[in-house]
A and B are shown apart, each in its own frame.
Chain A
């Protein structure tokens, strides 16, 4: 009886509960030695009040478990975090509540799918745009510098000696321009990633960080075959993490590791700097961007302060059979 009650439609359950309460009240009135005088006597009032309280209690007892799954659904809905997909409401209880939970889960699934798809589109557009800008920088601006340098060299032969110094300066300026263009283009779109693969690209990131900040990056990199999308995500996460270290951490030691840990492949960027300010994991655009990218390939991204100061960013790729 009780187990059947659990799966009874909510409508019938409420109806039957009320009906049961009314029947009890009816039976009490008919068969119990209660009378109600007019005007009501004090003792009668006490009996009536007790009876009413008992009936209300009965109703409460019968209805409450029926409605408890609704609370669970509500609580889960409150906890849903768009950046941590995969949470679902338990599908239990009577059919209409189970159906609600089921429908809610299906809606979550559709939203997550759509979100992942639009994030993928947005990032693809961004990557294409970066590639185009990098290419134009490299091809257009870079070649202009090449031409300027050729013209300077041409000029050097015929220039009066007293202007030689200035020409040298100009030449140096052009060289800095050419090198900057190359550096910026490489940052926008690492050609080395396409050409030589992920470990070379990560090595280049580490060297660039050392050049820029003067802090050597201690690196442990395994050569692991990933697909193109995963490689790009790993690269961009490492790039963003190192950028954050350079900008905010004030670190004196940085480690970059990319290796197998158990059955998964993990990227870690760790520093000994001043750590994250409270709330940064939520508010920082950079961290948000890393999370978005991680979602695309079903990887888990964790950004946390480590004991003894400093920050660690870890990206754990989903395990693949036979890797």
Chain B
């Protein structure tokens, strides 16, 4: 039987090394790619398909959640597991919304990671023990905030692409750099930027950065 091909992505090399060592030691698992940010992770899975992508939620350039959205859309066969320091319903909710199969807390990574990998590969969801309660609270919060908890798009004025641009703007990349990283033209970036500011009714990068923090797109 061919071994399971795994991509690991985390912006901390020390964690990346630990993940690789642990996973490589399991029979039937092989870490075939590493990435230190979301853009690299997406590129790697597109370049060479993997069975399982393990992504840290908070990464530079493109968050783990944004990378997960791209990966599950463009490589539907790839299972995605999220790693996170945040035991927080909002993140779990988003993780499931972008198509991840599991959410593992870094404070329980030793206990949960291998179980989560096995569950994901069987096509079953894996959540940390308290996640369901957090998820329920988040559902309630969303339905209180926006009336209908089901429909994500109704309250989210920005498209996934625009959210990617927001993250890069908040990380202080220039229009040229953003164009290069997202592989779109500079004109398109400028149009996105103007649309985003108009949709959110904001004036400048400072306000946009604050929005990006609230949305968990960048770490404060």
By a beta-carbon cutoff of 8 Å, the part of chain A in contact with chain B is 131, 135, 138-139, 142-154, 156-157, 171, 174-175, 178-179, 182, 189, 191-192, 194-196, 228
Contacts and interface: CB of A to CB of B under 8 A. Distances in A.
Given A154-B25, A194-B213, A195-B213, A146 B109 contact: yes
Contacts of B21: 150-151, 154
User: Lowest 4 A-B CB distances belong to which pairs?
Assistant: A150-B18, A153-B110, A149-B110, A143-B12
Contacts of B108: 175
Contact of B25 (A152, A157, A174): A157
B220 A194 contact: yes
Given A143-B12, A146-B14, A191-B86, 4 more contacts: A147-B18, A150-B15, A152-B110, A182-B107
B25 A139 contact: no
Interface string B6-36: 0000001011011101100100000000000
Interface of B: 12, 14-15, 17-19, 21-22, 25, 85-86, 88, 90, 106-111, 113-114, 141, 210, 213-214, 216, 219-220
Nearest to B210: A228
A96 B206 CA distance: 50
B25 to A, nearest CB: 6
A152 B110 CA distance: 7
Contacts of A147: 12, 14-15, 17-18
Nearest to A203: B137
A133 to B, nearest CB: 13
A131 B213 CA distance: 13
A196 B106 contact: no
Contacts of A192: 88
Contacts of A189: 220
B114 A153 contact: yes
Contacts of B22: 150-151, 153-154
A142 B12 CA distance: 10
A175 B107 contact: yes
Contacts of B113: 150, 153
Contact of B85 (A142, A149, A156): A142
B220 A150 contact: no
Nearest to A156: B110
A190 to B, nearest CB: 10
A224 to B, nearest CB: 14
Interface centre among A145, A148, A196 (most CB of B within 10 A): A196
B146 to A, nearest CB: 13
A154 B108 CA distance: 14
